[in-house]
A and B are shown apart, each in its own frame.
Chain A
Amino acid sequence: MPHIDLSINLCSIPLANPTILASGILGTTKAFLKRVAGNGAGAVTIKSISTEPREGHKNPTVITFEAGMLNAVGYSNPGVDAAAREFSNLQDINAPVIASVIGTQKEDFVRVVEGLSGSQFSAIEIPLSCPHTPGFGLLAGQGTPEATFAITSEVRKITRLPIFVKLSPNIPEICTIAKAAEDAGADAITAVNSMGPGMIINIEAQRPVLSFKVGGITGDALRPIAVRCVYDLYKAIKIPIIGVGGISTGRHAIEMMMAGASAVGIGTGVYYRGIDVFKKICDEMTQWMAENDFDHVDKIIGIAHA
């Protein structure tokens, strides 16, 4: 088999391969990040951190259905001070680590980014698009071009790390918001967050199953929407795109990259195929590329647009 190169350079961060652990999956402790990196992830993202500790919503917070997963965890996290303790000495982890930072107002983002600045994070991701946590993301009006520009600009002022802005698939004008992020100095767009929210009702209990009643939809159901968003964004912006949404196989990853993604986020895929989903996806990508005469993964990016 010819040598197949999966390595990429994402905003000057070298990644051994384009698979990235998406925020909110297993990114709660350093030990988990280490384990995920050991299972082949090209980079890993921590679970989102706010200024203060949050318990999040009550259980059930995560359930599955025939076409994916529904979650409303509610941004449980230990707050920036405890997070800075947990995520210290990140050089022990064999992959770049991305900090996901949330806030209810732009000053919060600044405080968290500053609080984590002593850790060796490789990039900052700011999700402005959570569909199920009051005070944050869509429920706080952060998913508008104006708010996205304002928050991204504030974070830009205080960090030299690459900034990834994570967007919602719900909004028809996703390209306008992405451009606002780009204009404010974002280095990449993560597309997309979970969609919805959706609801699942247990008909015997006659109640919604999630304690928050509604939750973001991820997994297979999200993939075609995520691919379309990335396809549209690729035409609209110049900065790289991290494609996220329903990727659990090498074929899915290649599809997302053909739409225009430079890297791919994996979340629900960990449920479908286990923690070694990263290694599995890379093996499958390598095999497909060998069979289809691609020697470098770079050459796949955006080719569906030709």
Chain B
Amino acid sequence: MLEQPTMVKIYAIAEESPGVKTFFFKWNLLFDPGQFVMVWIPALDEKPFTISYMQKDIMGISVLKRGAFTNALHAKKTGDIIGIRGPYGKGFRLHTNSNACVVGGGIGMASLATVVDRSSDVIVIQGARTASEIIYQKRFQGMKLCTEDGTAGFKGTSVDLLRELLKTHNLNKVYTCGPEKMLYKVFELCKNHGIDCEVSLDRYMKCGFGICGQCDCSGQRVCVDGPVFTTLELNTLEDFGKTTILKTGERVKLRI
């Protein structure tokens, strides 16, 4: 495989919330839930996005409008072309017949969406700051929602909601993606309950195939050794929940 973008046409666009759009492409690729693609807008930039939809030969990525790149992506129309390369990284290891729960925070829910699609019976927790930021409401009916301001579902964080859930449910597995401080809390909560946890981490990425050294987390390359790490691996990652690496390569304390 050459690590070069293939140009694909945007087949459809769905608005998931005021700030999140899903872009669909005709592209038949084999992938594991939690894997990502590098998305290229020629002459602008290239960024990693997790695959959030896969049905037959249609794949989708859900994009939160946040900076210059995602703004440019949100301005794209059906029929426009963008570049894609991948899929990259290690995804979630799906286990059948386990009492599983996915815990998504904000746009992190996009990375868990195909886990839900491919699992028969899984509890879905989605946390957001406010009701209007909730995504996939029609797609996953029966989600347990929580918002920081209490405008939808449980008032509190997804960690709080998971803690509540654990009072009445025996879970064997938790899949989670979202802000890293939240992930760390989910991981700790799971550890205290003896629940196996898989966490999808986010780092600034360049090559996507494990040689540039940009996306370090305690010596693990988030792009190829991750982005999904298991409890066993997370136990050895000192940086997890504490520090991240800026575009310059500088190590800084995690803010969120």
Minimum CB–CB distance from A132 to chain B (whole Å) comes to 14
* With known contacts A53-B248, A205-B42, A25–B211 Cβ distance under 8 A: yes
A202–B216 contact, CB under 8 A?
no
From A28, A35, A209, B249 is in contact (CB under 8 Å) with A28
Q: Is chain A's interface secondary structure helix, strand, loop, or mixed overall?
A: loop
Chain B residues in 8 Å Cβ range of A82: 248-251
Asked whether A32 is an interface residue with its Cβ less than 8 Å from the other chain, the reply is: yes
Chain B residues in 8 Å Cβ range of A62: 3, 206-207, 209, 211-212
Asked whether A78 is an interface residue with its Cβ less than 8 Å from the other chain, the reply is: yes
Chain B residues in 8 Å Cβ range of A235: none
Asked whether B232 is an interface residue with its Cβ less than 8 Å from the other chain, the reply is: no
Asked whether A303 is an interface residue with its Cβ less than 8 Å from the other chain, the reply is: no
Asked whether B214 is an interface residue with its Cβ less than 8 Å from the other chain, the reply is: yes
Question: Which residues in window 42-62 of B have CB below 8 A to A?
Answer: 42-47
* With known contacts A34-B219, A63-B3, A73-B206, A56–B247 Cβ distance under 8 A: yes
* With known contacts A55-B247, A76-B248, A77-B249, A205–B212 Cβ distance under 8 A: no
Chain A residues in 8 Å Cβ range of B40: 59-60, 205, 209
A58–B45 contact, CB under 8 A?
yes
Asked whether B2 is an interface residue with its Cβ less than 8 Å from the other chain, the reply is: yes
Minimum CB–CB distance from A251 to chain B (whole Å) comes to 22
From A59, A202, A207, B4 is in contact (CB under 8 Å) with A202
Asked whether A29 is an interface residue with its Cβ less than 8 Å from the other chain, the reply is: yes
Minimum CB–CB distance from A41 to chain B (whole Å) comes to 14
Interface 1/0 per residue, A263-292 and B, CB below 8 Å = 000011011000100000000000000000
| Count of chain A residues with a beta carbon within 8 Å of a chain B beta carbon | 45
From B46, B81, B249, A204 is in contact (CB under 8 Å) with B81
A28–B213 contact, CB under 8 A?
yes
Minimum CB–CB distance from B246 to chain A (whole Å) comes to 7
Minimum CB–CB distance from A176 to chain B (whole Å) comes to 32
Report the nearest A residue to B4, measured CB to CB. Answer: A63
Minimum CB–CB distance from A289 to chain B (whole Å) comes to 28
Alpha-carbon distance A58/B206, docked complex (angstroms) = 9
From B44, B209, B245, B249, A58 is in contact (CB under 8 Å) with B44
Asked whether B156 is an interface residue with its Cβ less than 8 Å from the other chain, the reply is: no
Chain B residues in 8 Å Cβ range of A103: none
Report the nearest B residue to A203, measured CB to CB. Answer: B7
A29–B213 contact, CB under 8 A?
yes
Asked whether A31 is an interface residue with its Cβ less than 8 Å from the other chain, the reply is: yes
Interface centre among A62, A206, A267 (most CB of B within 10 A): A62
Interface 1/0 per residue, A16-58 and B, CB below 8 Å = 0000000011111101101100000000000100000111101
Asked whether A293 is an interface residue with its Cβ less than 8 Å from the other chain, the reply is: no
* With known contacts A58-B44, A59-B45, A59-B206, A29–B245 Cβ distance under 8 A: yes
* With known contacts A27-B213, A62-B212, A205–B207 Cβ distance under 8 A: no
Chain B residues in 8 Å Cβ range of A24: 212
Chain A residues in 8 Å Cβ range of B42: 202, 205-207
A78–B216 contact, CB under 8 A?
no
Minimum CB–CB distance from B217 to chain A (whole Å) comes to 8
From B4, B83, B207, B249, A65 is in contact (CB under 8 Å) with B4
Question: Which residues in window 211-226 of B have CB below 8 A to A?
Answer: 211-214, 216, 218-219, 221
Report the nearest B residue to A205, measured CB to CB. Answer: B42
* With known contacts A78-B246, A202-B42, A28–B210 Cβ distance under 8 A: no
Minimum CB–CB distance from B170 to chain A (whole Å) comes to 37
* With known contacts A64-B2, A207-B43, A47–B219 Cβ distance under 8 A: no
B213–A79 contact, CB under 8 A?
no
A59–B46 contact, CB under 8 A?
yes
Minimum CB–CB distance from B139 to chain A (whole Å) comes to 30
Interface 1/0 per residue, B32-48 and A, CB below 8 Å = 00000010101111110
Interface 1/0 per residue, B1-40 and A, CB below 8 Å = 0111111000000000000000000000000000000101
Report the nearest A residue to B237, measured CB to CB. Answer: A31
Chain A residues in 8 Å Cβ range of B247: 55-56, 76
Some 19 contacts from A to B, beta carbons below 8 A apart, are: A24-B212, A47-B249, A56-B248, A59-B45, A59-B47, A59-B206, A60-B40, A60-B46, A61-B212, A62-B206, A62-B207, A63-B4, A64-B209, A76-B206, A86-B251, A204-B7, A205-B81, A211-B45, A270-B210
B residues lining the A interface (CB < 8 Å): 2-7, 38, 40, 42-47, 81, 83, 206-207, 209-214, 216, 218-219, 221, 239, 245-251
| 6 A-B pairs with the lowest CB-CB distances in the bound complex, closest first | A31-B219, A78-B250, A28-B213, A59-B46, A204-B7, A62-B207
A residues lining the B interface (CB < 8 Å): 24-29, 31-32, 34-35, 47, 53-56, 58-66, 73, 76-79, 82, 85-86, 200, 202, 204-207, 209, 211, 267-268, 270-271, 275
Given A53-B248, A78-B251, A202-B7, 10 other A-B residues pairs in contact with their CB atoms under 8 A: A25-B212, A29-B213, A31-B239, A58-B44, A60-B40, A62-B209, A64-B4, A82-B251, A204-B81, A209-B5
